[in-house]
Amino acid sequence: MLPNLDGIVHCAGIGQRIPCRELREDDIDEVMNTNFKAPVMLQAEILRQKKMNREGSIVFIASIAAESPSMGNAVYSASKGAIISYANCLGVELAPRHIRVNCISPAMVRTGLIFKGAVTEEALKADEARYPLKRYGTPKDIAYLTVYMLSEASAWMTGSNVKITGGGK
């Protein structure tokens, strides 16, 4: 039995690098089901069961990929764009209950999602050097912003998509 929640963070994410011309329906379903459908359906069930407390906070981890195209990343980018659009609508629906809904859109973060041996460490270091802060983000960097969005410190914040990029695009 799920207790009532003051906040929830939806942080689902899988990726794949497949050129558009090579996409199959299964590729689309796999990414969209994990990155979009699962958090949407989970949130719908939480709301149906009235498990979100008044003045709670919902945070979705999206990605700057929604606005920054890259080769082979179309479905991942689309899934994160979809979650941003969903969050915007959800925020409007939940505003009368003072439940805030926001997104965080990180740039490159050193996690297993991105770094599965597909790129050499040398190539990653070269890419990091292009960021004004000269590094990729860490899960801790994203966690700090998430804590802020869940806290009373962001009580007048809803419908926002905060990009956290180390100064990069």
DSSP assignment of 70-108 = -TT-HHHHHHHHHHHHHHHHHHHHHGGGT-EEEEEEES-
Per-residue pLDDT tens over the stretch 93-131:
999 999 999 999 999 998 877 655 567 888 888 989 999
Higher pLDDT, 16 or 154: 154
Q: What average pLDDT score do residues 66-73 get?
A: 92
* pLDDT of the residue at 116: 58
In the chain the first and final C-alpha atoms are separated, in Å, by 42
Q: What average pLDDT score do residues 73-91 get?
A: 97
Q: What average pLDDT score do residues 63-85 get?
A: 95
Report the C-alpha gap between 139 and 2 in whole angstroms: 26
* pLDDT of the residue at 114: 67
* pLDDT of the residue at 72: 92
Domains of the chain: residue spans and CATH:
5-164 (3.40.50.720)
Sheet holding 100-106, edge to edge: 5-10, 52-61, 100-106, 161-164
